[in-house]
Amino acid sequence: MNSASASHRVAVIDIGKTNAKVVVLDTTTGAEIAVERRPNTVIKSGLYPHYDVEALWQFILTSLKTFAVTPGFDAISITTHGASAALLDEIGQLAMPVLDYEHAYPAQIREDYISLRPDFAETGSPLQSVGLNLGAQIHYQKTAFSTVFQTVRSIVTYAQYWAARLTGVLATEVTSLGCHTDLWNPRTKDFSSLVDTLNIRQLMAPVRSAFDILGPVRQEIATEIGLSKQIPVYCGIHDSNASLLPHLLKRDGDFSVVSTGTWVVNFAIGGALDQLDPTRDTLTNVDAYARPVPSSRFMGGREYEMLSQQFGSVPAVEIEAALPTVLTHGMMLLPSVVKGSGPFPNEDARWVADKDANNAERHAAAALYLALMTDVSLGLLGRKGPILVEGPFAKNALYLKALSSFANTDVIAIGGSTGTSAGAALLTGSSPTTQDSREIVAGRLEVGEYKRHWHAAMERVAG
């Protein structure tokens, strides 16, 4: 591993699907001491919908120039969303635009790709919609735009594209290759058979560790930004794995991480790779150390948002007070509020025993539903040990208590400075801070036979 001593102030380029930011983190406290943000826009013209990378690049340069003066930084790290790659020409510039992964391809091209992609047993990557399998994107670009594709000389994963622009060094990286791309075999820690099927092995840039320093900022860029010394640029990491990294560094043994947002993404450290079911939204991710991690997901944040809009705002104390009525009446919400994903992708949501229920009771039943969905998703991974919850659901006390009860294990709410930027800063060799974080172990509920009755109701519906 090519890394330097820990940096105290790290500039992180953090590009999400919806928004991008450049932030300077003080790694001794975990605090964000400077930040700039902008939307991540998609250009609809051209070969296909694509990200406005030049606008992002100018935003990155302007932010770094500002931060080089105040507060200053001594390293740069990068984290981006997955399901994206940059196709470069012989001089290292974009040969084709960086494709928006939400673009839907013609049916025939998609059908052809399905016949080419490796089995789940090889890649741990389930078939995804639109361009969420990166291999499907490259197949589409190569098939639909074959003449332009002939100018491609290198393929780099997305975080490493920005590293390449800063350093001139081309790379791919395992967390970005290992997030449902179809291009990686997590067991052999090498490219999958798809790279040969697509005849792109010679185009794939060398695989580097997320912790590697790819080089200093190129001199012409350093001059433009106004850097007074050489600044190392770290290879970079996929955003979900950036969130996972602090826990890997702080904890030993088996545990699970439930990262909540629009998606509830679950990682089971010490889980069972051999029991994953691709039809139930389970997959293999790859962590920053190139180790396969059993993972699952459902669109819990979106589901909660939709349900909350239906029920309206209700104080938390009223929701908890409504719980005994929900349990006594056996009131339940069955999946799936958002159909097409999660452990029950083909089921339609329905209520059980909800006659005359008020909004507080519906909120309480919804919290139980989300906890049970999390419990099922983690169970599919063979999870062991405590469950760590971060993100918005870490503030939902009823959800946390219900999850602890249903899973029969400790559930720990993680607050403070977690997230993608903080995780990416750890690539520089710093240690996770405890000064700006809190951990609260949730209590438990007397839920009786509710879990068994919920699963029985699901079996009756499925039957």
SS3 state at 427: helix
Quick one: pLDDT at residue 69?
93
All residues at 6 or more sequence positions from 113 whose CB lies less than 8 Å from its CB, including other chains: 105, 133, 135, 136, 139, 140
SS3 68: helix
Please check whether residues 213 and 283 belong to one and the same domain.
no
Instruction: Domain count for the chain, please give it.
Output: 2
Task: Give me the count of residues in the chain.
Answer: 463
Which among 208, 235, 262 is the end of a domain?
A: 235
Residue written as token pair 């060398």: 206
pLDDT in tens, the chain (463 residues): 454 556 789 999 999 888 999 999 999 888 899 999 999 999 999 999 999 999 999 999 999 999 999 999 999 999 999 999 999 999 999 999 999 999 999 999 999 999 999 999 999 999 988 999 999 999 999 999 999 999 999 999 999 999 999 999 999 999 999 999 999 999 999 999 999 999 999 999 999 999 999 999 999 999 999 999 999 999 999 988 998 999 999 999 999 999 888 789 899 999 999 999 999 999 999 999 999 999 998 999 989 999 999 999 999 999 999 999 999 999 999 999 998 889 999 999 999 999 999 999 999 999 999 999 999 999 999 999 999 998 889 999 999 999 999 999 999 998 764 578 999 999 999 888 755 467 889 999 999 999 999 999 999 887 6
DSSP string, 170-204: --EEHHHHTTT-SSEETTTTEE-THHHHTT-GGGB
* Residue labelled with tokens 């999400």: 16
Same-domain status, 200 and 260: no
Give the domain extent around 412.
241-462
The answer to whether residue 328 sits within a structural domain is: yes
Residue 203 located in a structural domain: yes
Residue 3 belongs to a domain: no
Give the domain CATH number at 76: 3.30.420.40
User: How high is the pLDDT of residue 463?
Assistant: 64
* CB-CB contact of 247 with 422 (8 Å): no
pTM above 0.75, yes or no: yes
Give the pLDDT score at 3.
47
Looking at the fold, whether 96 and 32 belong to one and the same domain comes out as yes
Residues 174 and 248 in one domain: no
**In this predicted structure, what is the pLDDT of residue 437?**
60
Residue 41, Cβ neighbours under 10 Å: how many? 12
- CA gap 120, 204 in Å, rounded: 22
| pLDDT score for 355 | 96
Q: Among residues 235, 255, 272, which one ends one of the domains? A: 235
Quote the pLDDT of residue 460.
Answer: 86
Residue 220 shares a structural domain with residue 265: no
My answer on whether 124 and 193 are in the same domain is yes
Do 125 and 185 lie in one domain? The reply is yes
Shared-domain flag, residues 43 and 161: yes
- Domain boundary residue among 235, 262, 282? 235
Residue 241 three-state SS: helix
All residues at 6 or more sequence positions from 96 whose CB lies less than 8 Å from its CB, including other chains: 47, 87, 141, 145, 148, 149, 152
Please check whether residue 367 lies inside any domain of the structure.
Answer: yes
In a domain, 1, yes or no: no
Half-sphere exposure of 290 (CA within 13 A, CB side): 16
- Asked whether residue 160 falls in the same domain as residue 277, the answer is no
* Co-location of 25 and 46 in the same domain: yes
- Whole-number Å distance between alpha carbons of 282 and 299: 13
In this structure, are 252 and 363 located in the same domain? Answer: yes
Residue 1: CB atoms within 10 A of its CB come to 9
Residue by residue, DSSP assigns 132-184 as -SHHHHHHHHHHHTHHHHTT--EEEEHHHHHHHHHHS---EEHHHHTTT-SSE
37 has which bridge partners? 21
The number of CA neighbours under 13 Å toward the Cβ of 241 is 32
Tell me the CA distances in angstroms from 252 to 210, 382, 430, 439, one per residue in order. 21, 17, 18, 16
- pLDDT attached to residue 233: 98
Does any domain span residue 4? Answer: no
Tell me if 22 sits within 8 A of 9, measured CB to CB.
no
Is residue 370 located within the same domain as residue 278? yes
User: Considering the domain boundaries, does residue 302 fall inside one?
Assistant: yes
Q: Looking at the domain assignment, is residue 197 inside a domain?
A: yes
